[in-house]
Amino acid sequence: MLTNCHTLILREILKETSQEYDSDIYVYNVVPDSLPLSEEFNAKETHRFELPKGAYENYPKLKWVKCHLIVDNFCHYGSINKPAETLSPEEKKGYTYRKGKELIPFLEDFCSQVNVELDSSTKFYVSHILTEIAVDYSIYLVDQSVANLLNASRDAMRESHINELCEGLAILYACSPEKVNRARSAPRKFYGDLHDLKFLFLDGRAKIILRKLGLEFSEENIILGTKLIESCSGKTKNFEEFTENAKKEILAHEKQWDNGESILSES
């Protein structure tokens, strides 16, 4: 899933827990997707959680990075753990892949307009990303406070919080805190003004599709991409069925994942 969906699910989870938390946990919760927008990280590196002893206790907010991976697993596979066997995109049973199948005709239309041919497996893969993009746009259409929450949480971070974030992530990803700090600005560089929500969820996200298909970010391609997102969002306007289920599943398995143990996921 992408940022808006992750933020919504976390907000709903927090409503049901009595624990105290700092607002910057929303930033931790989107790290696996935001860092790879820079050249310095790839999604494979950020979608694994493996910590040296003691780190989880010293950097407790890393729990919310792990929560992201649990949600990703649920939306790809329908369970909080990644299955042991490797599944092809067509075999994955989570919401994004099931919904993605419904979006394939839209994707095919788009591909014929931009003269791209995709094999069947790539269609299943790209259509799951299209689901994630369409869900984020659908959430934006009904509730802009979700995206505003993430922006406010990012904007409110003090220097001490930023240092804690960079140091904790440096341990998690076995790199320097400076590298994390450089990559922090990647979303703004990639998308532009993160407070311009309509631009972010349409034009910005159109670039994600273009990048996946190896197409240039021309004005014409971006317009076609935004039209694709708008069409697909008609199929994801009932996203709450999914986000509610995800919340329940994450809460029901809290004892299983609320610890420093390793976990694997994928973007």
Residue ranges in contact with Zn ion by CB under 5 A: 32-33, 72, 267
> What minimum distance in Å lies between the beta carbon of 210 and Zn ion?
19
Closer of 36 and 225 to Zn ion (Cβ): 36
Bridge-based pairing state of the strands 48-49 and 263-264: antiparallel
88, 163, 170, 198 from 36: Cα distances, Å = 23, 19, 14, 22
Closer of 144 and 267 to Zn ion (Cβ): 267
Closer of 51 and 222 to Zn ion (Cβ): 51
> What minimum distance in Å lies between the beta carbon of 36 and Zn ion?
9
Neighbours of 8 (CB within 10 A): 25
Closer of 32 and 204 to Zn ion (Cβ): 32
Closer of 9 and 197 to Zn ion (Cβ): 9
Helix (H) or strand (E) holding 222: helix 219-233
Give the chain's length.
267
Phi then psi dihedrals of residue 34, to 5 deg: -80, -40
> What minimum distance in Å lies between the beta carbon of 105 and Zn ion?
26
> What minimum distance in Å lies between the beta carbon of 128 and Zn ion?
12
> What minimum distance in Å lies between the beta carbon of 237 and Zn ion?
22
**How far is the C-alpha of 157 from the C-alpha of 162, rounded, in Å?**
6
DSSP-assigned beta bridge partners for residue 48: 264
> What minimum distance in Å lies between the beta carbon of 32 and Zn ion?
4
Helix (H) or strand (E) holding 146: helix 145-155
**How far is the C-alpha of 96 from the C-alpha of 101, rounded, in Å?**
9
Closer of 30 and 206 to Zn ion (Cβ): 30
- In DSSP notation, 228-240 reads HHHHHHTTSTTHH
**How far is the C-alpha of 11 from the C-alpha of 3, rounded, in Å?**
12
> What minimum distance in Å lies between the beta carbon of 84 and Zn ion?
20
Degrees, nearest 5: CA angle 205-179-206: 5
Phi then psi dihedrals of residue 49, to 5 deg: -130, 110
Phi-psi region of 214 (alpha: psi -120 to 50; beta: other; left: phi over 0): left
> What minimum distance in Å lies between the beta carbon of 266 and Zn ion?
8
Closer of 9 and 166 to Zn ion (Cβ): 9
Rg (CA), the chain: 18
Closer of 66 and 224 to Zn ion (Cβ): 66
